[in-house]
C-alpha cells in the first residue's frame, strides 16, 4: 500500500513553489509592473497561496492517517470485502462514473455551441477565445481521466482499515478528527 496522500501533498507544495517562481518572473525577465508584471506577481501569489492552503487543509492530515494505517500499530479494525460483493459495488460505481463523464462531455459541447462559437465569431481576439475553450475541454478531459484512473486504482483494492483518527477505504482516506 502506497501513501498516495503524501504524494498529493508534495504535488501541491510543488505547485506552490511554481507559484512563487511565477511571481518572480517579472524581476528576472525585466517585465515592467504596468506591462503585465504586476498581473504575473498577483497570479503567482494566488497560485502559491491556493496550492499551499489546499495542501495543508486537504492532504496533510490524510497523509498522517495513511501513515498510521500503514504502520498497523494504531489500526483498530481491518477487513477485506468479499470479491462478489466488491465486483457488484464496482459495477455500480463504474456506471455512475460513466453517466457523470457523459454529462460532463455534454456540458462542454453545449458550452462550446452556445457560448464559445458566437464569441469566436463576434470577438476580434479569436486566439484568446480558442485558448479558453481549449482550457475548458482540457479540464473536462482531465476530470474524465481522473474518474477512469480512480476506477482502475480501486479495482483490485477491496479493503478498509480503521484507525483512531480516520479510515482508509480502498486507498482513499476519510478523516474524522483534526489534530
Cα-based angle 20, 24, 30 (whole degrees, multiple of 5)? 165
Confidence of residue 178 (pLDDT cuts 50, 70, 90): low
32-45: pLDDT as tens digits: 888 888 888 998 99
Going from the C-alpha of 177 to that of each of 8, 61, 166, the distances in angstroms are 20, 9, 7
| The model's pTM | 0.63
Contacts for 132 with CB less than 8 Å, ≥ 6 apart: 116
Mean pLDDT value across residues 11-38: 89
Cβ-contact 55, 14 below 8 angstroms: no
Confidence of residue 156 (pLDDT cuts 50, 70, 90): low
Cell readout for 146 is 481522473
Exposed / middle / buried, residue 58 (Cβ in 10 Å: 0-12, 13-18, 19+) = middle
What H or E segment, with its residue span, contains residue 151?
helix 126-154
Distance CA 85, CA 79 (A): 13
How many Cα atoms occupy the beta-carbon half-sphere of 122 within 13 Å? 6
Crossing angle for the helix pair 4-29 and 60-71, to the nearest 10 degrees: 150
Amino acid at each position: 500500500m502506497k501513501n498516495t496522500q503524501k504524494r498529493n501533498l508534495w504535488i501541491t507544495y510543488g505547485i506552490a513553489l511554481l507559484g512563487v517562481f511565477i511571481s518572480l518572473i517579472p524581476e528576472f525577465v525585466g517585465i515592467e509592473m504596468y506591462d503585465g508584471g504586476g498581473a504575473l506577481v498577483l497570479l503567482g501569489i494566488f497560485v502559491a497561496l491556493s496550492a499551499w492552503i489546499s495542501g495543508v487543509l486537504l492532504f496533510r492530515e490524510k497523509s498522517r492517517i495513511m501513515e498510521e494505517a500503514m504502520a498497523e500499530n494504531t489500526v483498530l479494525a481491518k477487513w477485506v470485502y468479499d470479491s462478489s460483493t466488491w465486483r457488484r459495488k464496482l459495477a455500480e460505481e463504474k456506471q455512475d462514473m460513466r453517466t457523470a463523464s457523459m454529462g460532463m462531455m455534454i456540458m462542454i459541447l453545449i458550452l462550446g455551441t452556445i457560448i464559445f462559437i458566437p464569441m469566436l465569431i463576434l470577438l476580434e481576439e479569436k486566439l484568446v477565445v480558442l485558448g479558453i475553450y481549449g482550457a475548458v475541454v482540457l479540464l473536462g478531459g482531465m476530470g474524465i481521466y481522473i474518474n477512469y484512473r480512480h476506477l482502475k486504482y480501486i479495482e483490485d483494492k477491496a479493503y478498509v482499515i480503521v484507525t483512531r483518527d480516520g479510515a482508509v477505504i480502498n486507498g482513499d482516506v476519510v478523516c474524522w478528527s483534526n489534530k
